[in-house]
Amino acid sequence: MHEPINYKSINLEQLRDQSTNHHSKIPFQHQIEAFEALSKTFKFGSEKPGSGILVLPTGAGKTFTATRWLSDHVIPKNIKILWLAPSFYLLEQAFATFEKSARDIPEPKKTLNIRCVSSSPSHAEASSIQLTDDIVIITIQTAISNLHPDGTDIYGKKFETAFRKFIDSCNKTGLFVVVDEAHHSPAYGCKNLLIGEKDSALGLRGLLPGLNLLGLTATPTHNDKARRGWLLKIFEHGIIYEAKKDILILQKVLAKPKYIEVSTHIKVEVDDEVYDKLVKQHQDLPEKIIEILAKDNGRNNFIVDTYVSNKKTYGKTIIFADRWFQCVYIKEKLLEKGIRVDAIYSHIDANPGSAEARNKRTQSDNQRIMEEFRDGKLDVLINVRMLTEGVDVPNVQTVFITRQTTSSILMTQMIGRALRGEKVGGSSEANIVLFFDEWQRIIDFIKLEPEPREIIEPDEPYTRGYSPLEYISIRLVEELSKSIESGGDYQIEYKKICPIGWYKTEIVYADTDNKHESMEAFTEFIMVYEHTKDKIDAFIKFILSANLLDEWSKQYLDDKWMQPQVEQWIDEYFDSKADDIGQKLQSDLIKIVRHIAQNPDKYAPPYHSFEERELYDLDKIAEQAIQLTGYEKHEYLNEKFLDSRTLWKTFYKTLMRFETAVDAASRNIFYRKKNVIDPISSVITISLVNPKDDRELNEVQKEEVKKRDKYACLCCGVNTKGKLEIDHIKPVSMGGETSIENSQTLCVTCNRCKVQNEIDFRCNTTKLSIPKNLDLSFTSEGEKAIKALTRVVNFFYHCKAVSKIDWEVYTYTYNIYLYPSNNPEWLLQYKAELLKLIKNKLGCHAEYINVSTIK
């Protein structure tokens, strides 16, 4: 649990008086060179503003470099700063670094107001932004949703967000924009945020012609030519300075990373809901799963033993844990082994006398422990993500990353703590120990070291999930397991399950739930088989020529929205049973479409052929093996398995699996069965039950709202207890509170139609001063006419205007009765459109519509 990092007003005069003996951090040569390049590019007062990219590898201090230069050259001029980052983790690092750099800001600047904004409960809400803020540090997703919001207020007027007011005010002060992880900038949403050219949705450069724009990244190049072109269009001066990683390693500024993977041997199974969140929605592990893993003491003991048995190799180590109680447990076990260890974590609000209260940490506790670790009094420091925030921890030889993640940004932040070289008080080589569990379903965790034969170009996004050869291995072992479990009844067709190649997609994903907010680019692979190649090619050809909706370009996709579309494509282009290998067809098609849609030039993902596939015909080996006796057969298969010129070891991992696969192929030849018992191992099964949202009412409060609203949708009146949702009347994005008073009960359909508008359906009188245009999209074909009309009319009046609607059977007349003070004439002008809706879309007969108010 993080302590809130949301806003700070710093009295610079007082800070200078307290820091008379303060010595600023001395920058390295590469940072001094970066300062000079920045000053050459950004010349304030000139006709053309600056726009370029600063490239520093992970661990080389790009945040420090940028904030130090901004503190010296931008803040003293009273130019506002907008710091954009694709993840809330990076916001906290920037916030902490600006705070540290504040004492170096020259006079006459007297105060510095810094605000950290995201949807994380630890940060300020976008609605809290003030015109007096000097620095706004905000996630790209929050900035996108607040620059041109779609919502209207209770009066039906376009809502102007606090963020937009701040941006408009910068026409007077000037604005310097920094984009962290700038290689994401060509992505649809970020590109439009920065340089959007539509009159209705101008980007920051269009709104502020004098804008200066700096990109920060460790990966400046891009394999996608179109995206590379967009980078140069956004950052017009291109790369203004680059420090090379290999040179910084030679200069001993950075340590050389050594990745060590360690299996916990814990088997974990997730249900469909969790799996969809991880794979389809590309979210990181849910908090419930993290908590279960953190509480597993057998797993924690394994982490302890891993350090103790390699103490000399690992030396001074940081362990990244996930919960305070996990920190305490690992600490106690390491103390029992004679290890000098302590733990730091955030403040915990707890009941007096509880375990949480006894073990809580204050800020002074954490500072003391950090000093002890820096001074060499401790060998191991355990923490809950606190050290991802740019904390200066020299002399670290090893980091333990105790669980897998789908977040490349979080992974990079943790690894960065160990990459300090000898000149910075670190070491020449850094051990990155990665603990991984055995997940029963394929989950696309971050891969740090590609397989040797995998085609990966340098300086591109992380690979999410598995390399092509790993996918082949997984598929072969999965099919082998099915054959074993069926006692040999299930016949393996190797040519069908061994791919002929793969497409390589690159996609930007956003996780926009209320706990985590991030935007990351990933490389993902689509496996192609003999019987699917022509079908996938035909599908790609169709997508390239199709007029795709803008929705497919966005970083965040609504699973409910895209599901029917993908199912339709599968029906049209594929055999849903034969072609859905590994149950990945839907997600594969989504990746292909998103790759094409997110690319400005709309081109297909590159295809790589598995040219050595013909060497891996298992039936040929089986035909040779069945002619040999027991020991001869074993020696023959062992030789094949260990042959360094082949990939059998890569595919099957163990000789026993390979031998079992050959036996299965032999059974196909002889049409005979063989029973093989697979050892049984324990599996943790995890379901996601009622995930908590920090910005939702609790269940008791939700029940109170439903009871108050008589268990009915306040908009259309439908009474469906199981399908009612609790809606914020005034959305959180507009500054609305999560409270019973600001909540109302809506059905799923009405809640979806309301989107980010402020509409109070508890109110019977419109607050609009002029009528809106009638929107008939709030209906679906075949819906009951009275229910659909009630929804349409209530949205039209921006309140619960409808008292009742009745139908005169003999005259085919619909009578709409409005509450007083709602002008019937507003609606009567749309009588023809309403009759057409009832007849054509709702399938009901209607000749007349009357609109009046009740007395």
Residue 503 in this model has a pLDDT that exceeds 70:
yes
Considering the domain boundaries, does residue 1 fall inside one?
no
Lowest mean pLDDT segment, chosen from 36-40, 163-167, 256-260, 376-380: 256-260
Q: Distances from the Cα of 373 to the Cαs of 97, 160, 392, in angstroms? A: 21, 48, 11
User: Which residues fall within 8 angstroms of residue 62, CB to CB, at 6 or more apart?
Assistant: 54, 56, 216, 217, 218
Q: What is the pLDDT at residue 256?
A: 84
Residue 445 in this model has a pLDDT that exceeds 80:
no
Label residues 161-198 b or e (16+ Cβ within 10 Å = b): bbbbebbeebeeebbbbbbbbbbbbbbbbbbbbbbbee
Q: Residue 361 in contact with residue 3, Cβ under 8 Å?
A: no
Q: Provide the β-strand partners of residue 178.
A: 83, 214
Considering the domain boundaries, does residue 710 fall inside one?
yes
pLDDT band at residue 446, thresholds of 50, 70 and 90? very low
- What would the 3-class secondary structure string for 36-54 be? HHHHHHCCCCCCCCCEEEE
pLDDT band at residue 225, thresholds of 50, 70 and 90? low
Residue 444 in this model has a pLDDT that exceeds 70:
no
Single-letter amino acid code for the residue at 668: N
Summarize the chain as % helix, strand, coil (round to 5): 40, 20, 40
Q: Residue 593 in contact with residue 526, Cβ under 8 Å?
A: no
pLDDT band at residue 457, thresholds of 50, 70 and 90? very low
Torsion of CA 26, 28, 33, 39, to 10 degrees: -30
Q: Provide the β-strand partners of residue 318.
A: 381, 399
Considering the domain boundaries, does residue 248 fall inside one?
no
Residue 430 in this model has a pLDDT that exceeds 90:
no
Residue range(s) defining the domain that contains residue 791: 763-855
Could you tell me if 747 and 783 lie in one domain? no
- The 10s digit of each residue's pLDDT in 89-126 is 678 888 988 998 888 898 889 999 999 998 877 789 99
Structure tokens at 716: 């259309």
Residue 796 in this model has a pLDDT that exceeds 50:
yes
| Stretch 679-692: mean pLDDT | 42
Higher-confidence position of 783 and 366: 783
Residues counted in the chain: 855
Q: Distances from the Cα of 44 to the Cαs of 74, 79, 211, 254, 431, in angstroms? A: 9, 10, 10, 33, 44
Could you tell me if 230 and 356 lie in one domain? no
* Rounded Cα gap, residues 306 and 260, in angstroms: 11
Could you tell me if 381 and 320 lie in one domain? yes
Residue 401 in this model has a pLDDT that exceeds 80:
yes
Residue 786 in this model has a pLDDT that exceeds 80:
yes
Could you tell me if 514 and 570 lie in one domain? yes
Reported as type and span, the H/E element at residue 770 is none
| 360 exposure class (CB count in 10 Å sphere: 0-12, 13-18, 19+) | middle
Higher-confidence position of 273 and 308: 308
User: How many domains are contained in the chain?
Assistant: 6
Lowest mean pLDDT segment, chosen from 356-365, 450-459, 585-594, 710-719: 450-459
Among candidates 770, 769, 773, 761, which has minimal Cα distance to 819? 761
Q: Give the end of a domain, one of 243, 275, 298.
A: 243
pLDDT band at residue 71, thresholds of 50, 70 and 90? very high
Could you tell me if 400 and 497 lie in one domain? no
The values of phi and psi at residue 630, to 5°, are -45, -65
* Rounded Cα gap, residues 471 and 648, in angstroms: 13
Q: Give the end of a domain, one of 243, 276, 301.
A: 243
Considering the domain boundaries, does residue 419 fall inside one?
yes
Residue 764 in this model has a pLDDT that exceeds 70:
yes
Residue 356 in this model has a pLDDT that exceeds 60:
no
Pairing relationship of beta strands 446-447 and 463-464 according to DSSP bridges: antiparallel
| Stretch 245-269: mean pLDDT | 82
CATH code of the domain covering residue 347: 3.40.50.300
* Rounded Cα gap, residues 744 and 751, in angstroms: 10
Q: Give the end of a domain, one of 210, 243, 276.
A: 243
- The 10s digit of each residue's pLDDT in 74-94 is 999 999 999 998 877 678 888
Could you tell me if 732 and 784 lie in one domain? no
Helices 655-670 + 468-485 axis angle, to 10: 60
Judge if pTM exceeds 0.75: no
Reported as type and span, the H/E element at residue 265 is strand 256-270
* Rounded Cα gap, residues 91 and 6, in angstroms: 10
Q: Residue 238 in contact with residue 404, Cβ under 8 Å?
A: no
Could you tell me if 757 and 769 lie in one domain? no
Considering the domain boundaries, does residue 555 fall inside one?
yes
Could you tell me if 768 and 755 lie in one domain? no
pLDDT band at residue 674, thresholds of 50, 70 and 90? very low
Q: What is the pLDDT at residue 447?
A: 47
* Rounded Cα gap, residues 618 and 483, in angstroms: 15
Considering the domain boundaries, does residue 251 fall inside one?
no
Q: What average pLDDT does the chain have? A: 79
The values of phi and psi at residue 670, to 5°, are -90, -5
Q: Residue 418 in contact with residue 432, Cβ under 8 Å?
A: yes
* Rounded Cα gap, residues 641 and 645, in angstroms: 10
Reported as type and span, the H/E element at residue 787 is helix 785-797
Greatest mean pLDDT among 252-256, 583-587, 596-600, 709-713 lies in 709-713
Q: E strands within 118-245?
A: 135-139, 175-180, 197-198, 201-202, 212-217, 239-242
Q: What is the pLDDT at residue 459?
A: 38
Considering the domain boundaries, does residue 295 fall inside one?
yes
pLDDT band at residue 455, thresholds of 50, 70 and 90? very low
pLDDT band at residue 793, thresholds of 50, 70 and 90? very high
Residue 348 in this model has a pLDDT that exceeds 60:
no
- Radius of gyration (Cα) for the chain, nearest Å? 30
Query: Scanning the structure block, which residue is given the tokens 């991984």?
Result: 436
| Stretch 40-47: mean pLDDT | 84
CATH code of the domain covering residue 790: 3.30.300
The rounded percent of the chain whose pLDDT value lies above 90 is 30
Helices 29-41 + 62-73 axis angle, to 10: 50
Higher-confidence position of 364 and 142: 142
Residue 485 in this model has a pLDDT that exceeds 60:
no
Residue 53 in this model has a pLDDT that exceeds 50:
yes
* Rounded Cα gap, residues 476 and 492, in angstroms: 9
Residue 691 in this model has a pLDDT that exceeds 50:
no
Q: What is the pLDDT at residue 560?
A: 65
Could you tell me if 284 and 380 lie in one domain? yes
* Rounded Cα gap, residues 783 and 775, in angstroms: 16
* Rounded Cα gap, residues 707 and 723, in angstroms: 14
| Stretch 460-481: mean pLDDT | 56
Structure tokens at 211: 């804008």
Could you tell me if 232 and 320 lie in one domain? no
Q: Residue 596 in contact with residue 604, Cβ under 8 Å?
A: yes
Q: What is the pLDDT at residue 687?
A: 45
Q: Residue 258 in contact with residue 431, Cβ under 8 Å?
A: yes
The rounded percent of the chain whose pLDDT value lies above 70 is 75
Could you tell me if 50 and 198 lie in one domain? yes
pLDDT band at residue 271, thresholds of 50, 70 and 90? low
Q: Residue 784 in contact with residue 846, Cβ under 8 Å?
A: no
Among candidates 496, 508, 434, which has minimal Cα distance to 191? 508
Could you tell me if 725 and 642 lie in one domain? no
Greatest mean pLDDT among 80-84, 282-286, 317-321 lies in 80-84
| Stretch 543-567: mean pLDDT | 77
Residue 29 in this model has a pLDDT that exceeds 60:
yes
Find the DSSP H helices in 260-351.
272-279, 287-295, 297-309, 311-314, 324-336
Considering the domain boundaries, does residue 368 fall inside one?
yes
Q: Residue 502 in contact with residue 595, Cβ under 8 Å?
A: no
- The 10s digit of each residue's pLDDT in 604-630 is 888 888 766 667 777 778 888 888 887
* Rounded Cα gap, residues 462 and 406, in angstroms: 10
